[in-house]
Chains A and B, each alone.
Chain A
Amino acid sequence: MVSGDPTLERIARGDGLALCAAGSWTARFAPVLERMVADAEKLGGTRPNISIDVSQVSKLDTFGAWLIERLRRSLTHGGIEAQIGGLSANYSSLVDEVRRVKAEPIVETDRLTITGMLEQIGRAVAGIGGTLIGLIDMLGAVLAAAAHVLIRPRHFRLTSTIHHLEQVCWRAVPIVVLITFLIGCIISQQGIFHFRKFGADIFVVDMLGVLVLREIGVLLVAIMVAGRSGSAYTAELGSMKMREEIDALRTMGFDPIEVLILPRMLALVLALPILAFLGAMAALYGGGLVAWLYGGVEPEAFLLRLRDAISIDHFIVGLIKAPVMAAVIGIVACVEGLAVQGSAESLGQHTTSSVVKGIFFVIVMDGVFAIFFASIGM
């Protein structure tokens, strides 16, 4: 099929010039063709009349036809139009088609300038306020939906809640337990290693107890849940938004908050305390194991010391924080999910920002709680 490389010969005809195109002028040879045409374009205006002869062209497609048309246009000079000759009937409709193309180049206007960068920074800062308002808005909507469901319990979606509870709680247990167990081991090992210098090995139990029950346990589990379930919520809601499923729900008279978001929020708020408790137990177990095997602290001694060092307050503080952090993660995830626009890229951006913002707010909340509990003396 391929009848050789394309050529463009210059043949003098009287005082004029004929450009004879031959070979296959197709997409395959587009880079070669473009260079040849660019060379020939320089001839524009050098001779009184220049014509283009395409009778030897064996194969022509849109690329070739457009390049011939481009050549014709640039050779048209001073009111004398360059002619295309020898066009076979097969290809004339194609050439007519590309003749209608307007050549004015369309410029992309995305330039990086100082003002543009300043504008972006300004918009990002202003966006923080918008984010906070969005979160409060969603919190209000979820509470309103919860109140509505409390009045009419028939509207509560138990099946959906149980399904999400399975996803975010039951299926998260192995990984949460594994990671907190390892963290407990590491804290214990590091504690023993450094406390041993003062002969204060046994105080590792105090440190482990306070850290795990009060801070690290719940914080670590919340961060894992934000990465595991927050991102899943955003991706689910976002792809539903992309495919107009949320609009469909709304037009059928359902409140998407009540149908989609309330069960997810409830599942998360129930799941996080459970996971935080399991995580804390796993971390204590891991810490105790390392203290015994590495530090020589007998299990009886460990438990006795733990009972003296840890009051029930530490445990309660941890468990109070858990549902609040779950709510923050859930609200951030749902706001981001509903903010997804039509493209796959947007889905990715919002899923990322759901996890980043979720973790950020969890840590901020933890700081706020620390101040609060310190001031009430817990």
Chain B
Amino acid sequence: MVGELSDAIIRVRDITVQFGKTRVLDGLNLDVKRGEILGFVGPSGAGKSVLTRTIIGLVPKLSGRIEVFGVDLDAASASERRGVERRWGILFQQGALFSSLTVRQNIQFPVREYLNVSQRLLDEIMVAKLGMVGLRPDVADRYPSELSGGMIKRVALARALALDPELVFLDEPTSGLDPIGAGDFDELVRTLQRTLGLTVFMVTHDLDSLYTACDRIAVLGNGKIIAAGSIADMQASQHPWLRQYFHGKRARAVMG
């Protein structure tokens, strides 16, 4: 068990991604450990979302190797890949809820597809998930277009958690939320990580999230990871972008 705990749940080696002539990721290496919340930061346009999308297989890579749960995603057969996909959940930046399904159907969709369980259990699990993300069951029959931005994020998280994944990717989970809502969301991610033993890969710009929710921080710059470590390591770093990011006006305000 101990050996596995220190094991990397995501192992990215020498990833290169190129769009036309622009090289977005250039020989990037990254490990995400089981059970940690990794905050992933970097300047806008540095390729944070591209890396996330490359890991989950939405963006083709030029070279390199990606292992998730110890499975090499390029070498995996279709059924192995499906097995991996069942064990991760993804929260897209805009929520990506299915607009023609209600909240209930959105959350139940992956469960219904993968597990043969009764409608009663589906409904109960849906209510439990809504409760976990801090929503009341009466939103269940609303359509995504009838929800506020914060509620969309929460429902999308509930859907990402529907199958009790071991690994969750969050793409800017707190962007577009009010500070209190964002704080609640960080708290929620922490609680879920504790209760469900989740590993969380979180792309974020929110300094508060980095301080309150993340165990470790990785910084992307020039297509590589320029630093990875605890928040204290980041503050001690001499890298110009990091100095600006963690010692700027906003950072000082967050640290009080």
Give the B-binding residues of A (Cβ under 8 A).
Answer: 1, 26-27, 30-31, 34, 61-63, 66-67, 70, 90-91, 93-94, 97-98, 100-103, 105-106, 108, 242, 341-346
In the bound complex, residues from chain B placing their C-beta under 8 Å from that of A26 are 164
Partner of A343 from B116, B120, B145 at Cβ < 8 Å: B145
- The answer to whether A63 and B145 have CB atoms under 8 Å apart is no
Q: Is B146 on the interface with A (CB-CB < 8 A)?
A: yes
Q: Is B228 on the interface with A (CB-CB < 8 A)?
A: no
Partner of B125 from A66, A102, A105, A341 at Cβ < 8 Å: A66
Partner of B164 from A27, A101, A343 at Cβ < 8 Å: A27
- With contacts A66-B125, A102-B127 taken as known, whether A344 is within 8 angstroms of B99 at the C-beta atoms is yes
Taken together as a complex, chains A and B put the C-alpha atoms of A103 and B118 apart, in Å, by 15
Q: Which of B127-157 contact A (CB under 8 A)?
A: 127-129, 131-132, 137, 140-141, 143-146
- The answer to whether B123 and A31 have CB atoms under 8 Å apart is no
Complex: chain A residue closest to B114, CB-CB: A27
A-B contacts, 21 of them at CB < 8 A, read: A27-B115, A30-B121, A31-B117, A61-B164, A62-B132, A66-B121, A67-B121, A91-B195, A93-B194, A93-B195, A94-B196, A100-B131, A102-B127, A102-B137, A105-B123, A341-B145, A342-B143, A342-B146, A343-B99, A344-B98, A345-B100
Taken together as a complex, chains A and B put the C-alpha atoms of A1 and B144 apart, in Å, by 37
- With contacts A102-B137, A105-B123, A344-B99 taken as known, whether A97 is within 8 angstroms of B131 at the C-beta atoms is yes
Partner of B145 from A66, A97, A342 at Cβ < 8 Å: A342
Q: Is B191 on the interface with A (CB-CB < 8 A)?
A: yes
Taken together as a complex, chains A and B put the C-alpha atoms of A3 and B161 apart, in Å, by 22
Min distance, Cβ A246 to any Cβ of chain B, angstroms: 15
In the bound complex, residues from chain B placing their C-beta under 8 Å from that of A66 are 121, 124-125, 128
Taken together as a complex, chains A and B put the C-alpha atoms of A67 and B163 apart, in Å, by 15
In the bound complex, residues from chain B placing their C-beta under 8 Å from that of A102 are 127, 137
Complex: chain A residue closest to B123, CB-CB: A105
Taken together as a complex, chains A and B put the C-alpha atoms of A126 and B194 apart, in Å, by 56
Interface size class of B (residues with CB under 8 A): 35 or more
In the bound complex, residues from chain B placing their C-beta under 8 Å from that of A344 are 98-100
In the bound complex, residues from chain B placing their C-beta under 8 Å from that of A61 are 164, 196
* 5 cross-chain pairs, A with B, having the tightest CB-CB distances, nearest first: A342-B145, A345-B100, A61-B164, A343-B99, A94-B195
- With contacts A27-B163, A62-B128, A63-B164 taken as known, whether A343 is within 8 angstroms of B121 at the C-beta atoms is no
- The answer to whether B191 and A108 have CB atoms under 8 Å apart is no
Question: Majority SS of interface residues in chain B?
Answer: helix
- The answer to whether A103 and B196 have CB atoms under 8 Å apart is no
Q: Is B197 on the interface with A (CB-CB < 8 A)?
A: yes
Min distance, Cβ B78 to any Cβ of chain A, angstroms: 19
- The answer to whether A34 and B121 have CB atoms under 8 Å apart is yes
- The answer to whether B124 and A343 have CB atoms under 8 Å apart is no
In the bound complex, residues from chain A placing their C-beta under 8 Å from that of B123 are 105-106
- With contacts A106-B140, A342-B144, A344-B100 taken as known, whether A62 is within 8 angstroms of B164 at the C-beta atoms is yes
Partner of B118 from A1, A34, A100 at Cβ < 8 Å: A34
Complex: chain B residue closest to A67, CB-CB: B121
Taken together as a complex, chains A and B put the C-alpha atoms of A155 and B104 apart, in Å, by 47
Taken together as a complex, chains A and B put the C-alpha atoms of A341 and B116 apart, in Å, by 33
- With contacts A63-B164, A342-B144, A343-B144 taken as known, whether A101 is within 8 angstroms of B117 at the C-beta atoms is no
In the bound complex, residues from chain A placing their C-beta under 8 Å from that of B143 are 342-343
Taken together as a complex, chains A and B put the C-alpha atoms of A34 and B129 apart, in Å, by 18
Taken together as a complex, chains A and B put the C-alpha atoms of A343 and B197 apart, in Å, by 35
Taken together as a complex, chains A and B put the C-alpha atoms of A34 and B197 apart, in Å, by 23
Q: Which of B203-248 contact A (CB under 8 A)?
A: none
In the bound complex, residues from chain B placing their C-beta under 8 Å from that of A90 are 197
Residue of A30, A105, A342 with most partner-chain B CB within 10 A = A30
Min distance, Cβ B108 to any Cβ of chain A, angstroms: 12
Min distance, Cβ B124 to any Cβ of chain A, angstroms: 6
Min distance, Cβ A6 to any Cβ of chain B, angstroms: 14
In the bound complex, residues from chain B placing their C-beta under 8 Å from that of A100 are 131
Taken together as a complex, chains A and B put the C-alpha atoms of A346 and B145 apart, in Å, by 11
- With contacts A31-B117, A62-B164, A63-B164 taken as known, whether A101 is within 8 angstroms of B131 at the C-beta atoms is yes
Min distance, Cβ A92 to any Cβ of chain B, angstroms: 9
Taken together as a complex, chains A and B put the C-alpha atoms of A97 and B4 apart, in Å, by 27
A30-B117, A106-B104, A342-B143 given; 18 more Cβ-contact pairs under 8 Å: A27-B163, A30-B115, A30-B121, A31-B117, A34-B118, A62-B125, A62-B129, A62-B132, A63-B121, A70-B124, A90-B197, A97-B128, A97-B131, A97-B132, A98-B128, A98-B131, A101-B128, A102-B127
Complex: chain B residue closest to A90, CB-CB: B197
- The answer to whether B125 and A342 have CB atoms under 8 Å apart is no
Taken together as a complex, chains A and B put the C-alpha atoms of A30 and B115 apart, in Å, by 7
Residue of A1, A67, A101, A345 with most partner-chain B CB within 10 A = A101
Taken together as a complex, chains A and B put the C-alpha atoms of A346 and B144 apart, in Å, by 13
In the bound complex, residues from chain A placing their C-beta under 8 Å from that of B104 are 106
Complex: chain A residue closest to B120, CB-CB: A105
Taken together as a complex, chains A and B put the C-alpha atoms of A66 and B118 apart, in Å, by 14
Taken together as a complex, chains A and B put the C-alpha atoms of A98 and B120 apart, in Å, by 15
In the bound complex, residues from chain B placing their C-beta under 8 Å from that of A93 are 191, 194-195
In the bound complex, residues from chain A placing their C-beta under 8 Å from that of B132 are 62, 97
In the bound complex, residues from chain A placing their C-beta under 8 Å from that of B127 are 101-102, 106
Min distance, Cβ B234 to any Cβ of chain A, angstroms: 29
Taken together as a complex, chains A and B put the C-alpha atoms of A103 and B124 apart, in Å, by 7
In the bound complex, residues from chain B placing their C-beta under 8 Å from that of A342 are 99, 143-146
In the bound complex, residues from chain A placing their C-beta under 8 Å from that of B163 are 27
Taken together as a complex, chains A and B put the C-alpha atoms of A103 and B131 apart, in Å, by 12
Taken together as a complex, chains A and B put the C-alpha atoms of A93 and B115 apart, in Å, by 25
